[in-house]
Amino acid sequence: MNLKLQDLGKVIFIRKNSAQAKIVEVKARHFNRLKAFSALALVITVLLTVGIVAVSSKSREEIAENNKLQSQIAALQTQMDSAVNTENALSAEKNTNNSKAVGYIESIQAKLTKINDYLRKRGLNSINFKKINTDDTGKPVLTDEQLYSKYDNYLTSLVANVSLVPMGYPHMSSLTSFFGYRANPFDFGEHEFHPGIDFKGKIGDLVKCTASGKVTFTGREGGYGNCIHIQHTSSLETWYGHLSRISVREGQYVSVGDVIGRIGETGRATGPHLHYEIRKNGRPVNPAQYLSLND
């Protein structure tokens, strides 16, 4: 096989400790292949280096992102723990408040029971206050809204009943005559039954009703002179006698404290004063027990 000069290359080997060099002729295509392989190896090395750098960079980013996520998770866990602690504290406080609420409710029920006693003594129907049912922990079975609504209804009934009970003074002054038997002021030596109490006053002093109700009579009535009757409940009514002026009319509804007339000395009277009666089922009872809620 004939080779051209350009197809050959020379490789010079120089031996150590020898001045003579050995020349070896190598085909040029082997040099070209070697160059190609070297270039390919260089490219692969560069690509691997770039890949390793990229992977390393991505790994660092993932590690940083992972650390960031771990920090966020830890922060969220702390918040959750705090929320749980807060909820437990609120739950404990609520249970404490429920216990206090039950105590207040029991106290209110005791007071309402006492008021019922006063109402019964004054001839009014009592209000039915049922005990509030509680569970094993003492917490009311009813919801707060139901509980408040229940007591609101109770108190509404109480207000309605109390407003119909004749209580207090129709005229603020001292008493000049009491309920029961007394000496007859017009017939010395004789005794008579006085069905009410008398309040000292001057002609023209204001007279107020002691409970809400309906005016059933106004006008002259024998020894009572100018008189007013007010019906409060089916069993209770009040009478106001010896008036100089009547300021209401029959059929009119009046409220506690309304001015209904003025003190006078009409009828069988020895001087200006107000005669005040409370009648239960048509019979006079002692008004003194209705002047206050005390026994």
Query: Is 0.75 topped by the overall pTM?
Result: no
Residue 117, Ramachandran bin (φ over 0: left; ψ between -120 and 50: alpha; else beta): alpha
List pLDDT tens digits, range 42-76. 778 878 787 777 777 766 777 777 777 777 777 77
Q: Closest Cα to residue 227, out of 177, 271, 278, 266?
A: 266
Instruction: Give, rounded to a whole angstrom, the gap between the first and last alpha carbons of the chain.
Output: 147
Q: What tokens does 68 get?
A: 């960031």
Looking at the structure, tell me whether residues 180 and 250 fall in a common domain: yes
Sign of the Cα torsion 256, 260, 264, 269 reads: negative
Domains: count for the chain: 2
Looking at the structure, tell me whether residues 209 and 249 fall in a common domain: yes
Asked if residue 154 is part of any domain, the answer here is yes
Q: Closest Cα to residue 264, out of 278, 279, 275?
A: 275
List pLDDT tens digits, range 191-232. 889 999 999 999 999 999 999 999 999 999 999 999 999 999
CATH of the domain at 273: 2.70.70.10
| 235: three-class secondary structure by DSSP | coil
165 neighbors 236 (Cβ within 8 angstroms):
yes
Q: What tokens does 170 get?
A: 């129709």
List pLDDT tens digits, range 235-279. 899 999 999 999 999 999 999 899 999 999 999 998 999 999 999
Report the alpha-carbon distance of residue 26 to residue 33 in Å, rounded: 12
Looking at the structure, tell me whether residues 147 and 223 fall in a common domain: no
Domain that includes residue 232, residue range: 175-290
Place 3 in a pLDDT band, splitting at 50, 70 and 90: very low
Answer with the one of 163, 192, 219 that is the final residue of a domain. Answer: 163
Looking at the structure, tell me whether residues 133 and 200 fall in a common domain: no
Residue 6, Ramachandran bin (φ over 0: left; ψ between -120 and 50: alpha; else beta): alpha
Looking at the structure, tell me whether residues 130 and 195 fall in a common domain: no
Looking at the structure, tell me whether residues 157 and 216 fall in a common domain: no
Asked if residue 14 is part of any domain, the answer here is no
Report the alpha-carbon distance of residue 108 to residue 195 in Å, rounded: 37
